[in-house]
Amino acid sequence: MPMNFEQFKEKLLMYGVDVRNWPKEIRSSGLKALDSSFELQKLVEDEERFEGVLKTRKYEEPSRDLAGRIVAAALPKKKKAQRNLGVFFAEVLGEFSLSRRALAAVSVSLIFTLIIGFTIGFSNPSGYAFAEQYETNLEDFLNYEGDVL
């Protein structure tokens, strides 16, 4: 029974590049398929080149901490904390080494200053004019005979 491309590729991966070393049951059909197909010959050449590259590769001793790195990489990673406004202000305030008492005093003084500013602003409306003061009579405007500005 002739061997197709996929079967030959599977046997090539299982038994190696040299078809003469394959099991007797499939060796003859493998040789026939190899002789009749240019694609299979090219595939065998590529596999021979690949195995040659693998054989020239030198063995490297694994590093001493390889097992630890593998275990550390397999452990679930912690999610990054989402940054929000509260965390930001906590970090900013953490940069300044103020005690809680000093921080409370600064906060109270800022709030007190803000309240005083609003009180002064609403009690003394400088520069504020009512709309009635600015009403312009259209008839007076049209009949104005004064100097042109």
Is residue 138 situated within a structural domain? no
Question: Considering the domain boundaries, does residue 66 fall inside one?
Answer: no
Reduced to 3 states (helix: H, G, I; strand: E, B; else coil), residue 8 is helix
Mind listing the pLDDT tens digit of every residue in the chain (149 residues)? 678 888 889 988 898 888 888 898 888 888 888 888 889 899 999 999 988 888 887 888 888 888 888 888 888 777 666 668 777 777 776 776 667 888 788 899 999 999 999 888 878 766 555 555 555 566 666 666 665 54
Q: Does some domain include residue 44?
A: yes
**Domain count within the chain:** 1
Contacts of 81 (CB under 8 A, 6+ apart): 87
* Residue length of the chain: 149
Kindly state the DSSP code that residue 22 receives in the 8-state scheme: S
Q: Is residue 22 part of a domain?
A: yes
Tokens linked to 90: 């906590």
User: What is the span of the domain harbouring residue 49?
Assistant: 5-56
pTM for this prediction: 0.39
